[in-house]
Structure 1
Amino acid sequence: MKYLALWCAVLSVFVAAEARAQSVPADSSVTLYGLIDAGVSYVSNEGGNKNVKFDDGIFTPNLLGFKGTEDLGGGLHAVFDLVDQFTLGTGSILSGEGIFGRNAYVGLVSDRYGSVTLGNQYDFMTDSLFFGHDDAAMEVGGLYNFRAGPFSKIAIPGNPPFAQQFDWDRMAGATVDSSIKYQSPSIGGFRFGALYGFGGVPGSFGSGSSVSVGANYDNGPFGMGAAYTEVKYLNSGAPEVGIRNWGVGAHYRFGDITTTALVTTVRNTSNGGAIAEGEVGASWLFQPDWQIGADYMYMKGDAYLNNNHAHQVTATLDHNLSKRTLVYVEGVYQRTNEGAQALISGVLDPDGTSSGPSQFIGRVGMQTRF
């Protein structure tokens, strides 16, 4: 008798689940997607020598992702995104990252109230400014056109010792692990969001934590964004290292021409080092399958960074072979003050710093997406 009662209880659970499933829209999907980029680069001065090399993940990173959505009814959706970044030349996962080190989150999205996601995810320097289309690097130069320069004393934790200034404004896709993020829906063209990353230190809630906020406004061809991020890095018993970033940017589209302007900053609260940069860029789709772009960037460090500064100019020409695949050529030139050593973003393995104040990269590459 007790077994019959047990089976009846189990059956009632399944019946209730089936009834609920039939009352909820069954609109759900899982998508496999990715980006692949490879090419040949010439570097005029890499560690004191010229270099011609295979290089990948430049125009876009090499990514393999799985994303899904499930309609829960009433305008509510469950979502997830799992993204791996890999090195195409070797087929290996990007050094220092886990299998889904680029992005890994799960959450809920409401058509009316916005989204809440949890996991390892971008902060708003990336979300509001780069994905807000205010950074020329999205269309012009990719990784080579993010921020680096003669600023190794800024000492960003987690970066290689020979490139502690790499991606100092976090816009090449830096993530915050163990985080919760809210993003609002668009309200009259305005969007905003906030993120908190848990430090996980017993007895000290704020230690090792991260905070980020961002806001955007979009109105037809015009858009602008602003963001602030602070990350506290634990430091093996020593005082934690706080890295603060803020930035503002804007873009405007004149038909087939897109213009961008961006200002970003960083401050290391433990040593006082700070950098600021300003840039302007433009891209022109002069034929349906041809695009040209250019960008100028100026970066300046404070007295702790020896007042080092750098000018950088980037130019690209892209040809779309299809909706998914393009080929491109690009050139990047950086010039620093005398006594400093140039370093273009992405020239990092093992130490790509120039032995002098200038560095040039010429590249031919191919990028496809699926």
Structure 2
Amino acid sequence: MEMKTFCFAASLLFACHANAQGSVTLTGLLDGGVSYVSNEGGSHVVKFDDGIAVPNLLRFLGKEDLGGGTRAIFDLTSQFELGSGTFMPGGSLFTRNAFVGLDDDHFGKLTFGNQYDFLIDSLFFGLDDGAIYAQGVYDFRNGPFAKLALPNNPTGAFDWDGMAGSRPIHSSVKYASPSFGGFSAGAMYGFGGVAGSFGSESGMSFGLNYVHGAFGANAAYTQTKTAVAGVQDSVRNWGFGAHYGFGPVTVTGLYTAVRNELNGAAVWQAELGGLWQIAPEWALSGTYMYMKGNKVVDNNHAHQLSAMLSYFLSKRTSVYVASVYQRTNEGAMAQINDVMVASSGPSQFIGRIGLQTRF
């Protein structure tokens, strides 16, 4: 089926300059709308919110044909807030991807720079995460797990499995193999650059993928190290997923987990999702997710449901209505991803009307 709507992994390419040997391409994604949050710190709120169904991205892609099936490539990707026009995080450019490398038909791809890890490449871009179809950033993982205390994290558990792309690996070398009989694999290492300590501030990631027709299955592992108050913290993420398409319907399944080695906090989640292309101009998507933490995060758990109905004004532009609901155990406070203030109780609901386009 034609996956023309939701996946910014398959960004539409618009060439602003090209010649026989190579090209530079400018692409982008834009999403804006109005969201109603039922309980944010004890009160409901209606607000403009952007970068939800898809992130607001400005992306420069380049390639040069070197002959013999080999190409020089680069990718410079920035994320920004549509409401203010400021780049994020921290007002910096190219914080999502910034790499240069070689791509060969026979030997694979080797790249150097600031890059997404294989949880994103294998599981998200591999089409196993329901968030790629329904609700985007709201449908990534958060929940009542602030005691995860992940380093440099705005809520302690925001995007705790890193699948929203909030934690690329810096100063990294990354290799992705070509496909052999449907199988492919990849590995990367991020150099910490700390004098006298090779492993400090470093990161590593691995991915394994299989695709056969409309079926795909993927697995990935990532470990990052960060100094917290002079103490080295190691965060481990891993997961596996699959998807299958039949006719106008695609179903997805995903498992991911996180462990903070510094405090022993751990959370896992299992998710089922689906997309129904009702007609060329209509699509309905949704997910169900269950998240569970260990005793360090008070054995909290949460159920989360989301749904999204989209109408396509063109191949590039759609309007949508969406909702997401999270319910936790009693005594915990619900927190949907991207809502920076938790609910004052065990439930939280978001309803949204939005518009997204790409160029």
Query: Normalising by the residue count of structure 2, what TM-score does the alignment of the two structures yield?
Result: 0.93
Contact 1:38–1:56 (8 Å) recurs in 2: yes
4+ runs of 1 displaced by more than 6 Å? none
Q: Match of 1:362, SS?
A: strand
* Match of residue 313 from structure 1: 305
Q: How many residues align?
A: 340
Gaps of 5+ in 2: 1-18
Residue identity opposite 2:92 in structure 1: G
Contact 1:325–1:367 (8 Å) recurs in 2: yes
Residue identity opposite 2:180 in structure 1: I
CA–CA separation in structure 2 for the residues paired with 1:255 and 1:215? 26
Q: Which one has the largest radius of gyration?
A: 1
Q: Match of 1:164, SS?
A: coil
For the pair 1:111 / 2:100, whether they are aligned, the reply is: no
Give the superposition deviation at 1:235. Answer: 2.4
1:65 to 47, 59, 65: 59
CA–CA separation in structure 1 for the residues paired with 2:45 and 2:73? 44
Gaps of 5+ in 1: 1-24
CA–CA separation in structure 2 for the residues paired with 1:127 and 1:287? 29
Give the superposition deviation at 1:96. Answer: 2.3
Give the superposition deviation at 1:204. Answer: 1.1
CA–CA separation in structure 2 for the residues paired with 1:48 and 1:95? 27
Residue identity opposite 1:294 in structure 2: G
Q: Which moved more, 1:106-115 or 1:202-211?
A: 202-211
CA–CA separation in structure 2 for the residues paired with 1:153 and 1:280? 26
Contact 2:303–2:327 (8 Å) recurs in 1: yes
Q: Map Cα deviations across residues 189-208 of structure 1 (whole Å, 9 max, x no partner).
A: 11100010001011111111
For the pair 1:205 / 2:194, whether they are aligned, the reply is: no
* Match of residue 129 from structure 2: 135
* Match of residue 348 from structure 2: 359
* Match of residue 32 from structure 1: 26
Give the superposition deviation at 1:85. Answer: 0.4
CA–CA separation in structure 2 for the residues paired with 1:273 and 1:334? 21
For the pair 1:179 / 2:139, whether they are aligned, the reply is: no
* Match of residue 4 from structure 1: none
Query: Normalising by the residue count of structure 1, what TM-score does the alignment of the two structures yield?
Result: 0.91
Give the superposition deviation at 1:26. Answer: 4.4
Pairwise CA RMSD: 0.9
For the pair 1:261 / 2:250, whether they are aligned, the reply is: no
State the identity %.
Answer: 59
What does residue range 94-243 of structure 1 map to in structure 2 within 5 Å?
A: 94-96=88-90, 98-160=92-154, 163-173=155-165, 174-237=167-230, 239-243=231-235
Contact 1:26–1:70 (8 Å) recurs in 2: no
CA–CA separation in structure 1 for the residues paired with 2:224 and 2:247? 39
What does residue range 289-308 of structure 1 map to in structure 2 within 5 Å?
A: 289-308=281-300
CA–CA separation in structure 2 for the residues paired with 1:108 and 1:311? 43
Higher helix residue share: 1
